[in-house]
Structure 1
Amino acid sequence: MGTSLLTNSSAMTALQTLSMTNKKLDMTQNRIATGQRVSTASDNAAYWSIATTMRSDNKALGAVQDALGLGAATIDTMYTGLNGTVEVVSEIKAKLTAARTPGVDRGKIQSEITELQKQLKNTGDSAVFNGENWISVDSNSTSYNSTKSVVSSFSRAGGVVQIDTVTVDLEAIKLYDKKADATPLTNVVTGASAGTLVAVAGNITVQVGTGATVNVATTTTSTLDSIAKDIMKLGIDGLTVAVGGGQLQFANRASVNGAPAGVTIVLNGGLTAPAALATAPATETGKGILDKSYDAYNGTAWEVFSVANIDISKLTDNAADLAKLETYIAGVDDALGSITNAATNLGAIKNRIGLQQDFVKALVDSLDRGVGQLVDADMNAESTRLQALQTQQQLGIQALSIANGASQSILSLFRG
């Protein structure tokens, strides 16, 4: 093909090659500068879309990590508060047990108990983190919520976002509640012949709400005291049985699944069952573990007490006072069991949040690696490619220069 002044095919080819080389060089330099082979949707629309969504989810998981950290700190504070009361309540129980001994100075023992009660209240009120106190509450407050939630995970499946939480039931762990307590339903069971028990071999049937009946065996040697103790041994929460005036005395605060429940008692051996106890009290007790109301019979009437306000300073060695003291001991023991259960549950939640923190951290790292595999540039390969393209660029410039110089040789044909 001849040489043309109007069309320089060699220069055009060299120019196209140089342009392609420059584009590739620009792309490689951008990858090196950003560290990504897919930094915009134009690089790879599918990978860019996936990576953008995963980055967004990873930010949400970062917020979950923060929420877990805050929740873990709050729960740790509440757990510390609960755990700190165990030894104090045990000490109160020991003091009450010592007060059962005839002749002891119960006034002095009460002075020790009073200080322990103050320590319990101080512990409950001091367990505050970020303005939150879950063990000393006021459930009458309009802002009160008995369920606290800690964000634990963020997930996406089929395009649907789901946020999971770890919940804490404050009703199960609170030590103090400022709300007023319910008044228990009370009744008596009268014995034949003006309160004289006619004992026979048989059963006493006790049923809480619509639950299963529980039987207590009686014999010809049973007494009102033994019957009362046998019913109390059933451990029905909220039901207190005492003996007074030759009669069985009952106080009922029982509940089933958080709702007040009636107690039906069928007695034999010359006793009449308390029909009124088949009716539930108006409201269930809603106080905390330490200010929860218990019922104690003083020989003539029912009295209400809690671990927070037990006072034995005026108790004597008469039978009614000793029975009342035993009721105090039983109430403190019940509260100690409730605190132990609450601390156990909160401890389990604390451990779960710790495990979730580790998992979320590992998940964030995993998503980062996944995004990296989709969009990150291989710097070793890109650096090698950069050197090759720079060489190609230099050669392209030389080739274009040679091609452009070819047209200059035509001038020599016209020189004389």
Structure 2
Amino acid sequence: MSSILTNNSAMVALQTLKSINMNLGKVQSEISTGKTVESAKDNASVWAISKVMSSDVKGFEAISDSLSLGQATVGVALNASESITDLLTEIKAKIVNSQEENVDRNKIQADIEALTSQIGSISAAAQFNGLNVLSNQETTTAYTAAGTAADGSGTVSILSSLDRSATGVAASNIDVSKGDLTTQTGVAGTIGALNAAAFTVAGTATANGAANATYTIVGETTTAGRTQAVMAGDSYEFNMEIFDAALTGTPFATAQAASAGDGRALYVAKDGDTAADIASNLVDVMNFRLAEQGFGDDFTITSSGAAITVTNNTATALAAAAAGNITTNAGGTTSGGLALLNEVDVTTENGAAAALSAIEGLIQTSIDTAADLGSSALRIETQADFVSKLTDSLTSGIGALVDADMEAASAKLQALQTQQQLGVQALSIANQAPQTILSLFR
């Protein structure tokens, strides 16, 4: 049956042409944008995944910048630490020369002081964008009379990765341990004594003990305003005032805390120090003082963890009450890791002997710092290479999800253009069908 009101053939042809035009528009969009999934309506799940991955790519590009900054910072510190190690080796050669009696020790001392100044200049200049990894000084007063505390880490954190899991995204860091190859001399705290629990002597909370005694640094958290047992700025002074049992005659070793430049052993805790760090550094200074005064063989001073053991190697009975004394205060200014260089004095025989013993530890400090920085530099470099490759992989993955196949799109475009032409022709034919009805009325 033919009808002039309803043209079914034209409706079918029109719907077909609309479908062809819609597909043609989609293919043309793919070709112009290069994407098969341009918006959420194209494929909601794939679009959502691609957007998450795109945000990760942006994040890793920022991480790459962070790693580049970290590489530069650690690289500057590494070069400086290696230079300082070389200078310390030169100082050691000078000290070895000073062991001879027929040398001009004053001139050797002048050379050592010049090299020490150069080391100080290098360590102070070894910064990148204001960050110096070779200085582990506190940046604020660690403890004040008002009880303000500063919690330090002793490390530099470099953003290295974004770790995505089912629960969210977490940032990962590479922690670079801060060395300390500075030469400034520390200043004891003046705010006030810490709680007596900051140390023990032979298991007793007292400041004094016999020469054959163990002094343990335990820190304390009972003082108002403190947040941790050991804080940057806490000063620990070990005073060796060792007399015979009758407290008469010249002491075996003296360390009057009241006078500057005396034989006292002073260490001010740095950012990130532990009780073991304090004990180890105190022992280094104490042994240097004893050797400097010619008593290096009379006493053996060692540390194990946070414990300092002082042993009397002489046959003389000593006064227990005056054998050793530890005083602790807060609010001090920390000394540099190579501060002992300032105490080196080879103009005397005892001083030359003490310097020879001390320089080995200073060289080892520098070597250890350089080695740690070298390991950190390698890790940062490896991570930077991984992040670069990971970014490329993520970008490729996003492309696999949303990028258009241009070869297939071009072929499909040709086919759809042909279908469009045929659809237009079919619709034209269908529209001519009612015209045949006119022939019935002739």
Shorter-chain TM-score category?
A: 0.7 to 0.9
Which residue in the other structure is 1:185 paired with? 238
What is the one-letter code of the residue matched to 1:350? Answer: A
Which residue in the other structure is 1:17 paired with? 16
Which residue in the other structure is 2:199 paired with? none
Distance 1:346 1:338, change over 3 A: same
Q: Secondary structure of 1:173's partner?
A: coil
CA RMSD, aligned part only?
A: 3.5
Largest Rg, 1 or 2: 1
Equivalent residue runs for 1:324-339 within 5 Å: 324-339=351-366
| Residue 117 of structure 1 pairs with residue 116 of structure 2 | yes
Which residue in the other structure is 2:336 paired with? 288
Structure 1 contact 253–281 (Cα < 8 Å) conserved: no
Measured in 1, the distance between the counterparts of 2:431 and 2:292 equals 121
Q: Give the share of equivalent positions with the same residue, in percent.
A: 36
Equivalent residue runs for 1:95-244 within 5 Å: 95-136=94-135, 138-141=137-140, 146-170=154-178, 172-176=179-183, 179-180=186-187, 182=235, 184-187=237-240, 237-240=284-287, 241-242=290-291
Match of 2:369 among 338, 342, 345: 342
Distance 1:273 1:340, change over 3 A: farther
Which residue in the other structure is 2:341 paired with? 307
Deviations 1:102-134 (A, max 9, x none): 021112222222221221122112212112222
Deviations 1:29-55 (A, max 9, x none): 111122111121111111111111111
Structure 1 contact 38–376 (Cα < 8 Å) conserved: yes
TM-score (norm. length: structure 2): 0.71
Measured in 2, the distance between the counterparts of 1:395 and 1:61 equals 51
Measured in 1, the distance between the counterparts of 2:296 and 2:119 equals 37
Distance 1:32 1:278, change over 3 A: farther
What is the one-letter code of the residue matched to 1:333? Answer: E
Which residue in the other structure is 1:199 paired with? none
Deviations 1:172-199 (A, max 9, x none): 334245752546313355679999xxxx
Distance 1:340 1:276, change over 3 A: farther
Measured in 1, the distance between the counterparts of 2:296 and 2:391 equals 68
Cα displacement (A) at 1:18: 0.4
Paired positions, count: 355
| Residue 381 of structure 1 pairs with residue 416 of structure 2 | no
Measured in 1, the distance between the counterparts of 2:319 and 2:394 equals 67
What is the one-letter code of the residue matched to 2:187? Answer: A
Measured in 1, the distance between the counterparts of 2:130 and 2:151 equals 13
Structure 1 contact 262–279 (Cα < 8 Å) conserved: no
Which residue in the other structure is 1:35 paired with? 34
Measured in 1, the distance between the counterparts of 2:429 and 2:180 equals 88
Measured in 2, the distance between the counterparts of 1:95 and 1:245 equals 21
Q: Secondary structure of 1:124's partner?
A: helix
Measured in 1, the distance between the counterparts of 2:93 and 2:337 equals 18
Distance 1:26 1:412, change over 3 A: same
